[in-house]
Chains A and B, each alone.
Chain A
């Protein structure tokens, strides 16, 4: 048979299904100054997906424009202390066109001594 007379179009579908996590946002996003998504878009997205659960902190930095933080983190640690740690780690790897996402878990260890009567 002449190959010129055979013509076929096929599509192969691959479907992966998993549960959508609610809320879908991670603990924090670090927005570069020239990133394709700006701080206000990030804030609106977070507000639409997880209302009143995130705070946007705008910062004056050569590469980073803002950090979006889960409010519960701010309840556990002082904002200045938390931001100091985040910035120290983020500025080593971020470029001004990136948006970094990060998980941040805080584990508090308490040890107390009490007087025995």
Chain B
């Protein structure tokens, strides 16, 4: 999901020479939580209730405002926007479309939207997240590794030990995946029931190490739980960019099934 899909387009502005008392009154009248500070058509800051509480009402807005908000391209995803705002420690950001101010967004809005994309059981993002990341990388012609991770015998675990135990397995395996990932290169999501997808731009050695760790059985209470991993390497496949993200997922998913069959020594 792009930030342009959820940005606020109504811009409430004020000039920097107005008093804080005036700004406060205007915010109350217009029922807005912040004002964009603009001088001569240029954004120079943002005035929030926090700035107003911390300043004498006689001060001018220029002496009370927070510094110029960061700018985010309208093409960025909500995940990228959330990360950027967290990195900069800002509550608001401006959305720019081809150097023109198109709208603005608050971190609170982003966090609410991101919460909708989180899987409540594991805390990982759900499929739309990984789909957005994958489609963006394909669009930008940036290769990546796609790992499709499918837990072995999960149906049996549910049948033998019950769904609550199955949930524990999913939770613990997710936690293992999350700690394995390096946010500089990796994106992980719970794709469906017992399936996870990782997109990574890490080097081959690291990816092989990931696959090894993912496939090695781990003890969860009295069970040994393992997974089969299907790996599509975008750095080696010359036709990589001719596939859609959906086709790449299908490919990785089938490779994971083959791995599963190889491990089990069975033919479906």
Contact = CB atoms under 8 A, between A and B. Distances in A.
A29 to B, nearest CB: 14
B62 A41 contact: yes
A37 B17 CA distance: 12
Interface of B is mostly: loop
A79 interface: no
Interface residues of A, number: 10
Nearest to B16: A40
A41 B56 contact: no
Classify chain B: how many residues form its interface, as a range.
Answer: 10 to 19
A84 interface: no
A60 to B, nearest CB: 16
B176 to A, nearest CB: 45
Contacts of A35: 56, 59
Interface string B36-74: 000000000000000000011011101110000000000
| Chain A interface mostly | loop
A37 B62 contact: no
Nearest to A36: B58
Interface string A24-41: 000000000011111111
Interface in A32-74: 34-41, 44
Interface of B: 16-17, 55-56, 58-60, 62-64
Interface in A51-103: 97
9 contacts: A36-B56, A36-B58, A37-B58, A38-B56, A39-B63, A40-B16, A40-B60, A40-B62, A41-B60
Interface in A1-41: 34-41
A36 B63 CA distance: 10
A87 B256 CA distance: 70
Contacts of B62: 38, 40-41, 44
A62 to B, nearest CB: 15
Q: Which 4 A-B pairs have the closest CB atoms?
A: A38-B63, A36-B58, A40-B62, A38-B59
B59 to A, nearest CB: 4
A102 B56 CA distance: 23
A44 B55 CA distance: 18
Contacts of B63: 37-41
A35 B64 CA distance: 11
B56 A34 contact: yes
Nearest to B17: A44
